[in-house]
A and B are shown apart, each in its own frame.
Chain A
């Protein structure tokens, strides 16, 4: 057993606040776009640096904590940059920098309106995402979770078309409802145990329950975080939200927002209920059933979707449920797989969204059926797309294979080989909906008159994320020690790595 110690530190708070502090600067420099974008990038780099500074102590099993006083009686507004939190924060803050560069290319390429609002709310979203990552208890978590809900809204309706406004309504209807369930669950938990801290192995571990109560409480929680995690049947806001500009879909609907949802599932599963309780009351069945069904159905829906971004959205729905499934399998390799997929799916899916956006900006094409020969026009973009596709199918050397491997290992350890079958089946389905795109792009005849790639602001980030996906596939521990941190979380919860 490893001993974790804590030390007080302002860094978690600063990491949350730095992008919030950029908001007034972004608004004030509305008339000077270059300066405005400088603030975004500066905040992004600063955020990453702050999160990275938490890494060395974390690897020595020292956790930064910060207590800001009570927010409701008995519960502190508190931050705790534990392994799981830093893991998520690293991914989100790193990908924010790349997305910011990409956004510059995207909004300028399309001459989007209200760019200042766009960058300002993006910064708010990132603040709340990091807040979610570093929340030490449910109340703090809920606060940032709700702020994220609201801050994403202006980005979803950014285009202000009838379609976008409708998407915004649907988005709010789903996410606000979920927030309400989360509050109900949190208040109930508070009355049961008198505190709301996230405790490895489960806050409620020693609470006597009636089985019915456990199921209802867990369902409330699952509903609360399940909407953002796009678990079926709570997923339908996500394809609709593709009305947002592509960088928003890329970062928020493949990384920040939806990953906050699955991050919530992990927090609830491993830190509020805990594996023992999940098993004792058969709550794992609930997770596994919904996740399994979601993976298969969403993959089929992706298959028949012609709009590229919506196809990616359904694919995201399926892949988010991989992570949920990993929690439901209740074994440390499966949890490891969950965490790795949380990170690796982010790098892969953001690549694909970046590609979709680059195609849209450069050639104004949104449909899969229009992509014939596009690989000859935009070889780098479609090359990156191919890398992302291979990764999501789960083939080496792209990082997706590793997380799937761990999930498969976990399902064997948990003696639920059925989910190995689901993993394989879903891999095949991924191939079925991604490879035709690659085939079209490279092997069909090119009818486009336009040549060349999109702006380097867009191409460089997407090539980087694709490269990163391969790099993580070969050396998962490189740079951010993601593999090490994820293993630490697994050991923290289960005591050992099976």
Chain B
């Protein structure tokens, strides 16, 4: 028998784990990773429980401290929030499983407990943002998540503090914009509770402060989501952060911004306000479309796998933005599906990049050669499969994202967006096959050898251990399995997660 109120547990578990880990691990530093893993497993379990409840009962509101909204803070559990928390917590579980070893390799032992504590706080923020039904509370979680992320980035290699600082500046500006937007909204409606605001807005005329509020919130959340041209912080942050950080940030970080935009603009403000009164949906779609092409082209020019993946993220976040911006049910389903699909793909790719770093000491594309396919066959295979998913080859998940987004674009009769969606998969093919060709077909001896003797050549490298390999392969496998399950997911979860207007 499940306790009846599991709704706030995922963020609470993370919060307490975040506080408890540094204390408990004072003496045994190895305990930190284990505790984080246990906490994540528990949170993932409860988010699944929550999702099942939401599917069964529809929208459930949880009132903190028993205070009645709009006075108290409210958590909203519906199929949408249940789905997204489940996805990010399960992905986090896989990544932390992998992080267990890669943290040991890349981060000094004394920093393990605070590192894991920050991971927990980041996940607290992520879960909180998704669950909350309160505009200001969302800001609080946004900052919790972002602040811990600054720390997580800054412990990386030499350039990482600069990257973290850049993110800190942009992230804070983003948070500030969002907060200003909330301020304007409060000015107009006199409420911070999302459901309350929706009801009030229903009766209010559209006034300039409201439009200002919408715009400010879009910019603020757009920075968090890394929508073009607000993505400036992302490439450096992904590249210079330690591998476990990039692996947890890439699949989860930007998705939260995307989720908030979906939640706030589609569920609270409503379709009329963002498509007819203001062109917010159109602007989002156009910016995303440009971002898709821009990110893909820049990804081709990169020489470092992590940086390439970072630009690819800019492009892939564009898929989500474009799907939302299409403002129809196919586009929305495509966007939600891509939140999950891209999370899985990017997690897999970043784990492989981490494996390479661990064994080769680098993840530079121009130094890869075909001995990798012998020395690290499983990692390269996982990379290839994830790359095919990114290109959108059926029956992997990427194909199905593309399918729904294409349906959405055609239904809107927007041929340009259709072309963008389709062309981008070709651009993905270009930059991924560049890496695949090197991993599989570039002879070893054609390489200029020994520029850096301390590095292991790929011929001497060996496959990573089971702790690192298992999560990588599970993600790779999931790319195919979830591809086949997409109908089930769409039918049982996502169609229930659509805003009522569709």
Residue A70, interface by CB 8 Å = yes
Chain A residues whose C-beta falls within 8 Å of the C-beta of B399 in the assembled complex = 143, 146, 183
Tell me, in angstroms, the Cα distance from A191 to B406 when the chains sit together. Answer: 10
Contact of B403 among A70, A165, A168, A187 (CB under 8 A): A187
CB pair A73–B406 under 8 Å, yes or no, is no
- Hey, what's the 0/1 contact readout for B402-438 against A, CB within 8 Å counting as 1? 1110110011000000100011011001000100010
Minimum Cβ distance to chain B for residue A157 (Å): 6
Given A72-B403, A180-B423, A180-B426, residue A191 in contact with residue B487 (CB < 8 A) = no
Q: Which residue of B lies closest to A75 (CB)?
A: B487
- Hey, what's the 0/1 contact readout for B427-464 against A, CB within 8 Å counting as 1? 00100010001000101000000000000000000000
Residue B279, interface by CB 8 Å = no
Tell me, in angstroms, the Cα distance from A417 to B218 when the chains sit together. Answer: 64
Residue B185, interface by CB 8 Å = no
Chain A residues whose C-beta falls within 8 Å of the C-beta of B393 in the assembled complex = 146-147, 149-150, 179
CB pair B395–A184 under 8 Å, yes or no, is no
CB pair B484–A184 under 8 Å, yes or no, is no
Identify whether the interface residues of B are mostly helix, strand, loop, or mixed: helix
CB pair A176–B406 under 8 Å, yes or no, is no
Identify whether the interface residues of A are mostly helix, strand, loop, or mixed: helix
CB pair B410–A177 under 8 Å, yes or no, is no
Minimum Cβ distance to chain A for residue B473 (Å): 16
By CB atoms of chain B within 10 A, which of A143, A172, A184 has the most? A184
Chain B residues whose C-beta falls within 8 Å of the C-beta of A71 in the assembled complex = 395, 484, 486-487
Chain A residues whose C-beta falls within 8 Å of the C-beta of B437 in the assembled complex = 165, 168-169
Q: Which residue of B lies closest to A177 (CB)?
A: B426
CB pair A191–B403 under 8 Å, yes or no, is no
Tell me, in angstroms, the Cα distance from A179 to B422 when the chains sit together. Answer: 9
- Hey, what's the 0/1 contact readout for A154-179 against B, CB within 8 Å counting as 1? 00010010000100110011001101
Residue B391, interface by CB 8 Å = yes
CB pair A183–B406 under 8 Å, yes or no, is yes
Chain A residues whose C-beta falls within 8 Å of the C-beta of B443 in the assembled complex = 160
How many B residues touch the partner, as a band?
20 to 34
CB pair A183–B490 under 8 Å, yes or no, is no
CB pair A147–B394 under 8 Å, yes or no, is yes
CB pair B410–A183 under 8 Å, yes or no, is no
CB pair B441–A165 under 8 Å, yes or no, is yes
CB pair A146–B394 under 8 Å, yes or no, is yes
CB pair A183–B402 under 8 Å, yes or no, is yes
Tell me, in angstroms, the Cα distance from A275 to B126 when the chains sit together. Answer: 56
Residue B27, interface by CB 8 Å = no
Chain B residues whose C-beta falls within 8 Å of the C-beta of A157 in the assembled complex = 441
Residue B314, interface by CB 8 Å = no
CB pair B391–A73 under 8 Å, yes or no, is no
Q: Which residue of A lies closest to B409 (CB)?
A: A187
Given A72-B400, A191-B407, residue A143 in contact with residue B395 (CB < 8 A) = yes
Residue B203, interface by CB 8 Å = no
Contact of A160 among B403, B410, B423, B441 (CB under 8 A): B441
Chain B residues whose C-beta falls within 8 Å of the C-beta of A176 in the assembled complex = 391, 425-426, 429
Residue B248, interface by CB 8 Å = no
Minimum Cβ distance to chain B for residue A178 (Å): 10
Q: Which residue of B lies closest to A160 (CB)?
A: B441
Chain B residues whose C-beta falls within 8 Å of the C-beta of A143 in the assembled complex = 394-395, 399
Residue A377, interface by CB 8 Å = no
Chain A residues whose C-beta falls within 8 Å of the C-beta of B402 in the assembled complex = 183
CB pair A184–B433 under 8 Å, yes or no, is no
CB pair B487–A184 under 8 Å, yes or no, is no
Chain A residues whose C-beta falls within 8 Å of the C-beta of B423 in the assembled complex = 180
Given A72-B400, A160-B441, A180-B422, residue A187 in contact with residue B407 (CB < 8 A) = yes
Q: Which residue of B lies closest to A140 (CB)?
A: B394
Residue B491, interface by CB 8 Å = yes
Chain B residues whose C-beta falls within 8 Å of the C-beta of A146 in the assembled complex = 393-394, 399
Residue B308, interface by CB 8 Å = no
CB pair B441–A191 under 8 Å, yes or no, is no
Residue B493, interface by CB 8 Å = no
Residue A281, interface by CB 8 Å = no
Q: Which residues of A contact B (CB under 8 A)?
A: 69-73, 142-143, 146-147, 149-150, 157, 160, 165, 168-169, 172-173, 176-177, 179-181, 183-184, 187-188, 190-191
Sample (8) of A-B pairs whose CB atoms are under 8 Å apart: A71-B484, A143-B399, A172-B429, A173-B426, A173-B429, A180-B426, A183-B399, A183-B406
- The 5 tightest CB contacts between A and B, nearest first, are A143-B394, A70-B487, A180-B422, A187-B406, A187-B407
- Given A69-B487, A165-B437, list of 7 further CB < 8 A pairs? A71-B395, A71-B484, A72-B404, A73-B491, A143-B394, A146-B399, A184-B422
